[in-house]
Amino acid sequence: MSEPVKVLGERRAFAPLLTVEGLQVRYGAIQALRGVSLQVGKGEMVALIGANGAGKTSTLRAVSGMLKAAAGRITLEGKDTTSLKAHQLVPRGMAHAPEGRGIFPNLTVQENLELGAYLRRDTARIEQDMEKGFTLFPVLKERRRQLAGTLSGGEQQMLAIARALLSKPQLLLLDEPSLGLAPQVTETIFRTLREVNATGVSVLLVEQNAHLALNAAHYGYVLETGEVVMAGAGKALLESAEVRRAYLGE
């Protein structure tokens, strides 16, 4: 139904974790995704770039079960998860830090983190993992008794990531972590993301800031009006003239 996807560069070999095939999503009469296919391997960081309205957020939402797929198939570790709801995917290792951070401003930082571990019963390990989160983002420890709504934008993003990690995910979905943040804060967050990824957590990252995303990711997909139009190794996409023109403003 669509033109073949242009593929650039070599993909490093990872064992498959998430596979999306021909995913379609509709909002009423509007078709947001027209058959998106992509893969994320175990331990891989994959970036999804594209303009506003290209379908990046819809893809993440469908993968995490927030949106129903109109067609297509999503598998996580070989098991079909297409029809599962968001809360059923968390115990299978999915964590989604949604667009606009999605923290609970009416709860304290501590309570937000505890909700990240909502399904876990291993209290002692949760405590350890929370400490781990505090070493990633020390500012959260200082503010653990504060209402999350009083945090700055950067701190809220850190909280969203720390909270997502507390569910002990295999796959972390991140929607625009750099949105509205100062460059230094963004840098801190991306450095931490790479650290997290290096511990074996796979990441599927949606970003408007293509430069940032493709630099950090092993592999990238370019979305345009609900379709994947290009794919390739992060560095290869960064060097491609088309990507540079369309998404890096050159």
Partner 1 sequence: MSQLLQHLINGLASGTIYALVALGYTMVYGVLKLINFAHGDVMMVGVYMGYATAFALGREAQRSLWGVVVIFAVAMGGCALLGFLIERFAYRPLREKPRLTALITAIGISFALSYGFQLDIGFLPGASPRAFPEVIVPTEWFIVGDRDVVVWNWQVISFLIAVTLMGALQFLVYRTRFGKAMRAVSWDHRTAALMGIPTDRIIALTFMLSSALAAGAGLLYAIKDTSVSPLMGLYVGLKAFVAAVIGGIGNVPGAVVGALLLGLVEEFVVGYAASTWRDAVAFGFLILVLLVKPGGLFGRVAAEKV
Contacting positions for partner 1 (CB under 8 A):
64-66, 85-87, 90-91, 95-96, 98, 102, 104-107, 111, 114-116, 118-119, 163, 167
* Residues 76 and 89 sit within 8 Å (Cβ to Cβ): yes
The least distance separating partner 1 from the CB of residue 18, rounded to whole angstroms, comes to 16
CA–CA distance, 189 with 162 (Å, rounded to integer): 11
Nearest to 220 by CA among 238, 202, 247: 238
Q: Which is nearer to partner 1, 53 or 138 (CB)?
A: 53
The pair of structure tokens assigned to 206 is 């949606």
The least distance separating partner 1 from the CB of residue 160, rounded to whole angstroms, comes to 10
CA–CA distance, 153 with 112 (Å, rounded to integer): 15
Residue in the structure block whose two tokens are 């609900």: 226
The least distance separating partner 1 from the CB of residue 11, rounded to whole angstroms, comes to 29
Nearest to 83 by CA among 95, 93, 71: 71
CA–CA distance, 15 with 13 (Å, rounded to integer): 7
Nearest to 219 by CA among 235, 202, 241, 243: 235
The least distance separating partner 1 from the CB of residue 249, rounded to whole angstroms, comes to 27
The least distance separating partner 1 from the CB of residue 47, rounded to whole angstroms, comes to 21
Rg (CA), the chain: 18
The least distance separating partner 1 from the CB of residue 121, rounded to whole angstroms, comes to 10
Q: Which is nearer to partner 1, 91 or 183 (CB)?
A: 91
Q: Which is nearer to partner 1, 85 or 194 (CB)?
A: 85
CA distances, 12 to each of 98, 168, 232 (Å): 27, 25, 10
